[in-house]
Every structure is written in structure tokens, then in C-alpha cells.
Amino acid sequence: MSEVVAIIPARGGSKGVPRKNLQRVGGIPLIARAVDAALRCPAIDRVVVTTDDDEIAAVAAEWGAEIVQRPIALAGDEASSESALVHALDELERRHVDVSVVVFLQATSPFIDVPALDAAVHLVRSRRRDSVFSAVETYGFLWEKGAGDAAEPVNHDIDVRPRRQDRTPHHLETGGFYVMRAAGFRAAGHRFFGSVGIAEVAPRTAIEIDTTDELELARILAPLVDRPAAIAVDAVVTDFDGVHTDDTVHVDQDGVEAVTVSRSDGMGVSLLRAAEVPVLILSTESNPVVTARARKLSVEVRQNTGDKAAALREWSDARGIPLERIAYLGNDVNDLSCLEIVGWPVAVPDAHPLVLAAARVVLDRAGGSGAVRDLAERVLAGRAAASQSLTAPQEAS
């Protein structure tokens, strides 16, 4: 049977943003975001990453992609994306994969519009179009620099300035995805051939990362664009101050400390324990308040951890739980090392800006006001969704 195959070129080198394809947006490496988008597209049968880099290959494989080793000669600054696609198609042919439609995804576009991608694949499979690319509508008046850098109009007359509703829009290529008939692509040698169609995508998804400024902008946008409701993990690890508490402490005349916690959080932890989800409180300091709260919640606690990431790795190894299957909830810069190594970095809404930028999910409730309950509900929703997927009857093929 012929297949629809997504191919994601991701070389290790990058001048504008070092190690660009491994940079995280919304807590997820860019290459992983591209793989995940392709896997969520119902019309795609197989996802392949072509790369010259072992670390990129490992991350892509971990997220579910097949790997094609890209020759060094096709991984330099001058190598075209088309050359990488042709090489990947040749390799798939050697693996006896019959590719009818190629879906070329770029990892530098972190917010792939999956419904638009799915519709584009159907346009090509039905042969209504030979090639389809993602684009956004624009009503902008475009200019170019002419002789002596003088401004010259491109898509309008300087003496006519019609209202937006009276103009026909143009479409700006986003670079997010290109869908093509495989045979037509091989014959033409480039991505635009035959009858070319446009797949309109939501403007908020149209950012493409080539500079550090665009990377930072994508990180700011991620919580607004992604907004995942369910979190699919096997364990929950949290900081204490600013997560289980509102990050304030009450000290009496004898120096005895007290904090405010949420009963709602206690119920959330209880629900996680009932679902047999391991919970760990990981704290930099050693404080009897933390010990008492962990005992009350009946969860593990590790305190006085100078290297929180090392402590988390040790705990995950002892439990046999992969880091990518752990949600870590934090609020301040001493949580960054943990947020960077787990599959689901999570932040409270009033967290430090660097923590918010590193988070895959920003919760709705603040620390000490139900943040842990918020996370617990999302984790339980993720487990319920996974359970339903496993037990759902399969349609006959």
C-alpha cells in the first residue's frame, strides 16, 4: 500500500540560532514539536526525520519518528531542503516503503496547524492539487527598495489606497508545511509543480524561527497557542515554596515558620495517589514545614538538594520512570534545571519569566491556591484519555 509520509529535515548546524532544532519552545524541542504535529495528523501514515546529528536523531526517535541518516554532504549551509527530501525518499525506497505523498515539515515552525495540514494532504491525495503549501492571508501594502533605495510599491498603486474590505488578499508563505505528490516532486525537482494550492493557516501559528528574537517570541506565544488540557505522564514532581504555598512565610517571635497551603491541593494529591501516580516533593532547602506537609500528603520528599536535576534523575532511575514521562511543577529559577530535562515542564502563572518561558504548560491556578490540584486534574485527564484510546474498538480496515 502506498503511504503518506512526513519528512522533517533537521541538520545539526545552524548559524542564526545555535543547535536550533533542539531549542525548546513551550518546554519541547523544536524537532519534537514537528514530530508530534505529524503524528497528530490523521492523514499521515509515517513520520521520518532526516538528520546528520545523533542528538537530534535520539530526540526524534524518542518522540516516535523513524530516522534517516543524512550524509554530511547534504547537511551543510549550501545544501537544499529538496536534496535532503530526495535522499530520504531514496532511503525509504530501499526500505521498501511506497511513498505516494510527501509531507515536508519544517521544525523551525513550532506551531503547525494540524487541521490545515490534514486538509492539505486530502487535497493532494484526491489529486485536486499536485502541491499545497501553508500560508496566511495578508492585506498589507508591500514595498521594495528600488534605485538608490527609493521605495517602490509592489502590490498596489500609490495613488489608490482602498479599504481592507475592498481589497483582494495576498497570501504569505509560512514555511510550516508543503504537501506534494511524490512522483511529481521527483520529476520537477522542487516543491511547487503542477496545480499548486494554498492551505490557509491561523495567523498565530505562522511564526518561523531563524533568529534568537523569533525564538524568544515563539516562547512567549507558546502558552497562548498550545494550551493543552490533559497531561500524559507517569509521575508528578513538584517544588514546594511557591507551588504548594503562595511563596510567603509567617515567622513568630521565636523564629518558628508557618506557611499557607491549600486543602484543594491535598485532595489533588490524594487523587493522584489513588490512581497510583507517584508524587515527589523536591526542595532545595531543608525545612520541617516541608517534611510535615509531605507526611500529611503521604508522598515522598527530598530536601537539601543542591543539584535538583541530579536528585530528580536519581529518583526517576530508581523508580524506572523515564524523564519524558514526568511532569515537574516549579516557579523559580532554581527549578530550571529540572524543567529542562522532563517531558512536561509545568509552571504556576506567577512564576519567574524564565520559568514561564521554559514551561510546556502554565497552570490556571497560583501556588498555594490550587496549583497542585490543577496539575493533578490534568494528569488524571491524560490518563483517562489514554485508557479510552486503548479500550476503544478498532474499525475494520
Sorted by where each begins, the domain ranges of the chain are 3-137+170-225, 235-389
Alpha-carbon 124 to chain mean position: 26
What's the pLDDT tens digit per position in 56-102? 999 999 999 999 999 888 888 778 899 999 999 999 999 999 999 99
Alpha-carbon distance 253 to 58, whole Å? 55
What's the pLDDT tens digit per position in 285-341? 888 899 999 999 999 999 988 899 999 999 999 999 999 999 999 999 999 999 999
Cβ-based neighbours of 103, under 8 Å, separated by 6 or more: 4, 5, 6, 7, 38, 41, 44, 117, 121, 177, 178, 179
Closest CA to 358 of 18, 20, 16, 23: 23
395 pLDDT higher than 80: no
Alpha-carbon distance 184 to 161, whole Å? 41
User: What is the model's pLDDT at position 396?
Assistant: 47
Residue 106 — pLDDT band, cuts 50, 70, 90?
very high
Alpha-carbon distance 110 to 201, whole Å? 13
264 pLDDT higher than 80: yes
366 pLDDT higher than 50: yes
Residue 391 — pLDDT band, cuts 50, 70, 90?
low
* Average predicted confidence (pLDDT) for the chain: 91
44 pLDDT higher than 60: yes
CA end-to-end span of the chain, whole Å? 12
User: What is the model's pLDDT at position 389?
Assistant: 61
What's the pLDDT tens digit per position in 216-263? 999 988 877 887 678 999 999 999 999 999 988 888 777 777 888 899
Cβ-based neighbours of 208, under 8 Å, separated by 6 or more: 106, 108, 109, 174, 175, 176, 214
Q: Percentage of the chain with pLDDT > 90?
A: 72
Residue 226 identity (one-letter amino acid): D
**Helix, coil or strand: residue 38:** helix
Closest CA to 226 of 25, 365, 41: 25
pTM of the model: 0.73
139 pLDDT higher than 60: yes
Beta bridge mates, 251: 257
Tell me whether the CATH fold assigned to 3-137+170-225 matches the one assigned to 235-389. no
Alpha-carbon distance 324 to 288, whole Å? 31
User: What is the model's pLDDT at position 92?
Assistant: 97
For domain 3-137+170-225, the CATH architecture is Alpha-Beta Complex (3.90)
The CATH number of domain 235-389 is 3.40.50.2000:
no
Give the orientation angle of helix 30-39 with respect to helix 54-62, to 10 degrees: 40
Q: Which of 126-140, 250-264, 344-358 has the lowest mean pLDDT?
A: 250-264
Distances (CA, A) of 17 to 20, 49, 96, 396: 5, 20, 36, 47
β-pairing, 143-145 vs 151-153, is antiparallel
